[in-house]
Each structure stands twice: as structure tokens, then as C-alpha cells.
Amino acid sequence: MGGLNLNISYYPSDSICFGSPITLTASSSTGFSCSWYGGAVFSPSTGSKTVSLTFVNPGNYLITCVGYGPAGSGGGTVNIVVLPNPSTLLNITPKSICINTGTVQLFGGSPIGGIYSGFGINSSGVWTDSVSASNYSMVQYKYKDQYGCEGSAKDSVLFQTCTGISEFNIESNFSISPNPAIEEITINSENIKYCPLKIYDSFGRIVKEVIFSSNEPKISISDLQQGIYYVSIENLLKQKFVKQ
């Protein structure tokens, strides 16, 4: 091949996230027709100077246009990097929420730092008491990495009418001190009697389970690593604390 000089431009970039659109355009000072090669799916498949590309997998792709025109034949090549999207998980906690219990912090999205969405749920994963009937609701979690590539995951949470909540009055009495804490935390409550208490890490994994009573309010956390944790009593309301 010789005589035809081709340049290939790309939009929006030569480095894209997997699943993102990309367009390549071949140009020359003289007329030509172009055939494309390089491990991608091209649209249109042949003959066009401008093509949209679809990639089956992330990786590095060497894309070539072989052109033919009055000046002869020639080729142009560009390297396209297709970045993988981050692996994103959502194991929503709690799995059920009692209606009319106030705000509830949902968590379980991984990696940390993503955005939650769903009915009555803000971007930080806080649900406000806005559901009027028992029902399952879908929660979505999206995370973007340092390259702007996005992963997403979904899970469901059950909103239900619970009985006996007023017996505990958790919303007005449940708090944690000290916060941050090192060796132990104290659950400040006047009238919670023998309820299941769970401590979750920031990934939504249960790291400790006890039967809690306000008669014995102290819980050892000396075996926990430093980080952010959540205390849940009866899967109703949660409080966050920091282990130093």
C-alpha cells in the first residue's frame, strides 16, 4: 500500500469505559473508501469513513482503516483502551424496615463511596418515613472509579407494618457513647429489654451479634478493626459509630 495518507480521529477519547460509545473517523486530503479492522464490531460494517464501535470485552484494541482512493491505497491505525467497569455489589441492610419508625440508614454498597437511589431513599442511603403501605422496593447502588467508569448493583428492601414498636420507643432512646470508641460502647436506652443487637461493618457484613438489654448497656468492641460500624436493634433503627 502507498500513496494515501490517512489520519484517524476518535470521540470522545481513545480511553473509554466498557459499554461506552466511541466513534472513529478516518480522513485524508483526497477521496477514498475505508475498510475497518481490529477486533471490534463496526457500524456500518464497511465502506464508511466514520464508524461507531462496540467492544465485546475490556482491553487494548489496535483499530485500522485500510483506504483505497485515486491517490492509491494506505492505512491508518489508532490504539483504543477499553477500561473495565468496577465490580459493584449491594447487599442491602436492613432487609426490612418498619413503617413509621423515622429515618433509617441503609448500607451494604461496595465499594464504599457510591450513590444510592430508590423510593424515599436519598443518595447517601438514608430512608425517610414516606411509605404508606407494605411493599418491596428496589434499591440501586452506583459507584464510579477514578477513571469515571461506573458499576451498579440492585437489591430489594421490604417496607412493612410492625407491631409492638412502641414497647421499645427506640427512636427516642437509642444512642451510642462514646463515639468514637476504642474498647467498648454504651448503648444509651431506658427501656429496651432483651432485643437482638447486631453490629455491621461498612460493607454490610455482620461482625457481632448479642442479646441486648438496657440493664447491661456496655458492649465490647476491642476485637473490631478500626473503621465505621453500624449498630442495629431489632432491625428497626441504626446508629453509626467509629472504632479507633
- Number of compact structural domains in the chain: 3
Q: How many Å apart are CA 90 and CA 116, to the nearest integer?
A: 10
Higher pLDDT, 23 or 71: 23
Per residue in 68-127, pLDDT tens?
Answer: 888 888 889 999 999 999 999 998 887 777 776 667 888 888 898 999 998 888 898 888
**3 Cβ contact partners less than 8 Å away, ≥ 6 residues apart:** 71, 72, 73, 74
Of 4, 46, 8, whose CA–CA distance to 25 is shortest? 8
Write out the residue range of the structural domain in which residue 99 sits: 85-162
Residues 138 and 113 both lie in one domain: yes
CATH of the domain at 178: 2.60.40.10
In-domain check, residue 2: no
User: Residue 209 has what pLDDT?
Assistant: 83
Residue 28 has pLDDT above 50, yes or no: yes
* Structural domain ending residue among the three candidates 36, 62, 83: 83
What 3-state class would DSSP assign to 235? coil
pLDDT tens digits for range 129-179: 666 555 778 899 999 999 999 999 998 887 776 654 333 344 445 788 888
Q: Is residue 119 part of a domain?
A: yes
Q: What is the largest CA-CA distance in the chain?
A: 92
For 92, which DSSP code? E
Among 65, 83, 101, give the residue marking a domain's end: 83
The C-alpha cell 485515486 sits at 70
Q: What is the mean pLDDT of residues 23-30?
A: 90
- pLDDT on residue 169: 40
pLDDT at site 18? 95
Tell whether pTM > 0.85: no
Q: pLDDT digit string (tens) for 3-13?
A: 788 899 999 99
CA distance 106 to 122: 10
Is residue 195 in a domain? Answer: yes
The rounded distance, in Å, linking the Cα atoms of 6 and 230 is 60
* Cα dihedral 128, 131, 135, 137 sign: negative
Give the pLDDT of residue 144.
95
Residue 54 lies in a domain: yes
